[in-house]
Amino acid sequence: MAQVLAGPGGIYVSPLGRARETAAIALPGTPAVVDPRLAEIDTGAWEGRLKSELPKGASDLETYAAAPGGEGLDALMIRVRNFADGLRGPSIVVAHGLWGQVLRGLAQGMAFEEMGAQENGQGCVYHLEDGRERRIGSATAE
C-alpha cells in the first residue's frame, strides 16, 4: 500500500530516532530512504533544553529559528526547498513538526510568519498537492 501512495517519488524519513520509529509503525516492512535533510531544525546552544526555559517567540518556529549557534530560518528553508525540489513524484515524507511547517508553507506560498502559525499536529498526515493542504486523520497538538 505504501508504494502505491508514494508513487514514483519514494518514501523518505528523517535520520532522527523518533521519525524512524514512526515510519516503522506507520509503514511496517516498507523500505524508506533515510535523508539527513529531513532532520529537525538545529537549535545550537538550546539543544536539549526544555521549551519552558527558552524565550517566547510569536511561534515555535520563530523561537527555534532564533537559537544562538543554531541553523536559523534561512538555512532551514534552503534545506527543505532543496529536498522538495528533488522529489520526482508523489512521495511520503516522515519528518518533524517545524520542518513540516516550513515544507507546507513553501508549498503554499506562505510568508515566514504564516508558516509558524500553522497547525503542527501529530498523528495525522498532511497531504500537499497543487499548492493546497489537506489534513488526513486527527491531529493532536504538539
Cell numbers placing 89: 513524484
Per-residue pLDDT tens digits for 47-82: 999 999 999 999 999 999 999 999 999 999 999 999
Task: Name the band, by pLDDT with cuts 50, 70 and 90, for residue 140.
Answer: low
Q: What is the CA radius of gyration of the chain?
A: 15
- pLDDT at residue number 127: 93
Per-residue pLDDT tens digits for 73-130: 999 999 999 999 999 889 999 999 999 999 999 999 999 999 999 999 888 899 999 9
Query: What stretch of H or E contains 66?
Result: none
Mean pLDDT of the chain: 91
3-state DSSP assignment of residue 21: helix
Residue 37 has pLDDT above 60, yes or no: yes
Per-residue pLDDT tens digits for 12-35: 999 999 999 999 998 998 899 999
Handedness of CA 81, 87, 89, 91 (dihedral sign): negative
Residue 141 has pLDDT above 80, yes or no: no
Q: Work out the percent of the chain whose per-residue pLDDT is above 90.
A: 76
- What whole-number distance in Å separates Cα of residue 25 and Cα of residue 1? 14
